[in-house]
Structure 1
Amino acid sequence: MIHNLLNFRIHSPFPNRPTLVFLHDSLGCVELWRDFPEQLAAATQCNYLVYDRLGYGKSGPFANPVRDKQYLEPEAAVLNDLLIQHNIEKAILFGHSDGGSIALLTAALFPERIQAIITQGAHVFVEEVTLAGIRAAKEAYSTTDLPQRLAKYHGVNTDAMVKAWTETWLAPTFRDWDITDFLPQITCPALIIQGKDDEFGTPKQVETIVTRCSGPAQAWLIPRVQHNPHKEVPKEVIERVFSFITTLP
C-alpha cells in the first residue's frame, strides 16, 4: 500500500478535537514546515498530522514520475485513505501551494471527514506569473546551490521531484489545467490566504476560489507578503487561523 511508503508525523493529545493536516508545496516536505505545525496545533488546541507526499522528503519515490494534468486528484484520494487509516473523523486541511490545491480537491471529492480547509497560495488554473516563477526556479536549480539545499531534505528524491514539477507545469499541454469546476462541490468553511506579492499567483486565484465555493469562504490577502505566509508572518497567520477555527461549528 502507498501509505507504507509515506513519511509522516502525527500528534494527538486532544481527544475529540479536530486534526490539522498539513499539505506541503511543490518542493516541500515535513521538515520544511519547521515548527509551524506544532505552533499552530498548540495555539488552536488541535491534533496534527503532517506528511511527505510520495516522491518528496523521506517518503518513497514517485510510482510514476511522468505526470498528466490530473496528477493532483489521486493525491486527494491518498489523503482520504490516510485519514481513514488514522481514524481522523474531523480534519482541518492546511494546504500550501500544490497542497492548497489538494486541500480544495479533497474537500470537493471526499467531504465526509473534512471540517474546514485553509489554503495558502493555492492554484486552480494556470497563470503566466506562475509559469514565470517556475522558470526562475528551474534556472536557479541549474545555476545555483539549490540542488544541494533541496537534497538536505529530499535526498535521492530531489532531481525527480524538481523535474516532475517544472516539466509538468511548463508543458504546453498543461496550459489549460483548471480545477475550478470542483469548487462548487466544496461546502465546508474555507479560509483562503495569499500574499499580495505572491510570485506564483495573482489575487484572481483567491477571488475565484472564494466566489465559486458553495460553503462559507473568506479571503485574506496579506500586504507585503509573498508565497510563504506561514514563514514570512507566522504570528499573524496563527492568529488569523485561530480566529477562523473558533468560528467553526
Structure 2
Amino acid sequence: MPGTGERAPLLFLHEGLGSVGLWRGFHRRIAAATGRRSVAWSRPGHGRSGPPRSPRTPSFMGEEATRTVPALCAALGLERPVLVGHSDGATIALLAATVLPVGGLVVLAPHVLVEEFALTAIRAARTAFDDGGLRARMARHHDDPDAAFRNWNDVWLDPGFRAWDVRDRLGAITAPVLGVQGDADPYGSAVHVRTVAERAAGPVALTTLPCGHDPHLELPATTTAVVTRFLDGLP
C-alpha cells in the first residue's frame, strides 16, 4: 500500500505457515492508521511465491534475514524500513536488524531459542496436517501446501534444530523494538521477548496480551492500537 514519503515504510514478514493473505488485513489496517507505505509479501515457498531455491536447513531464518530481506528492500527501494514480523517472521526481522539499517522493529511472538513445550505443539501440527484438516485449510492459501508445511515443520522437528539459539546476536540491534507476546502461546513463552529486552542495544518496549500465538488475529483491535502507538512514537 502506498503512503507518505515522510515516514519509514513498513515491511511485513509472516509466520512459518503464513502468507500475505493470512495477515487477514492486519498490514492494511496498520498502513491506514499510520499513513506509511506498507509492503507484505509471501516468503519463498509460501502463498503464491515460488519455492525456496534450496531445501531449508536449521539456519534458514538467518539466511532469509541476511540475504533475502536486504535484497528485497534494495529491489523495492525500502530505505530504513520498520520490520513487522510474526513468529518465524519476527525472528527474521530481529536477525535482519543486525545487518540492515532499520527504523524500528515490531515482533509478534518471536523465537530466539527452542523450548520443549513448543516442539510439542509443532508435533501436534504435524498430526493435524497428516491426519486432520490442516492441509485442506492451507491449500486455500498456498500453491503448494505440502512444501509450505514441510519447510517449516520438518526443520523445527529436525534433531539438529534443538541447539538453535540466536540470543548472542541480539546485541547488534540498535533500533527501537516493540515485542508483543500472548500469555497463552503454545509455541513460546515470554522468555523470547524478555531476552530481546535484555540483550538488544536499543530501547525495547514489551506488551503481554491475553491471547495465544496470533495476537493480531485473536485481539486485532488491541494489537493494532499497540502497534500504531509504537509506530507513532518512532523518530
The TM tier, using the shorter chain, reads over 0.9
One-letter amino acid of the counterpart of residue 104, structure 2 = A
Report the secondary structure of 1:159's partner residue.
helix
Instruction: Give, in angstroms, the shift of residue 16 of structure 1.
Output: 2.2
Instruction: Give, in angstroms, the shift of residue 245 of structure 1.
Output: 1.3
Q: 1:131-155 deviations in whole A, cap 9, x for unaligned?
A: 0110010010011121111011112
Instruction: Give, in angstroms, the shift of residue 228 of structure 1.
Output: 0.3
One-letter amino acid of the counterpart of residue 154, structure 1 = H
Give the alignment partner of residue 8 of structure 2, picking from 6, 18, 31. 18
Instruction: Give, in angstroms, the shift of residue 62 of structure 1.
Output: 2.0
Q: 1:75 corresponds to which residue?
A: 64
Structure 1 Cα separation of the partners of residues 147 and 51 of structure 2: 8
Q: 1:185-233 deviations in whole A, cap 9, x for unaligned?
A: 000000011100011001111111111101001111112x000000011
Pairing 1:106-185 to 2, within 5 Å after superposition: 106-110=96-100, 112=101, 114-155=102-143, 157-185=144-172
**Fraction of identical pairs, as percent:** 38
Structure 2 Cα separation of the partners of residues 186 and 163 of structure 1: 30
Q: 1:226 corresponds to which residue?
A: 212
Counting matched residue pairs gives: 234
Gaps of 5+ in 2: none
Structure 1 Cα separation of the partners of residues 69 and 120 of structure 2: 29
Q: 2:34 corresponds to which residue?
A: 44
Q: 1:8 corresponds to which residue?
A: none
Q: 2:24 corresponds to which residue?
A: 34
Report the secondary structure of 1:17's partner residue.
coil
| CA RMSD, Structure 1 to Structure 2 (Å) | 1.0
Structure 1 Cα separation of the partners of residues 25 and 196 of structure 2: 28
Q: 2:91 corresponds to which residue?
A: 101
Task: Please state if 1:215 is matched with 2:202.
Answer: yes
Gaps of 5+ in 1: 1-10
Pairing 1:180-219 to 2, within 5 Å after superposition: 180-219=167-206
Q: 1:77-116 deviations in whole A, cap 9, x for unaligned?
A: 2111111111111311110000000000000122x2x100
TM, length-normalised to structure 2: 0.96
TM, length-normalised to structure 1: 0.91
**CA contact under 8 A between 1:129 and 1:202: conserved in structure 2?**
no
Structure 2 Cα separation of the partners of residues 232 and 61 of structure 1: 29
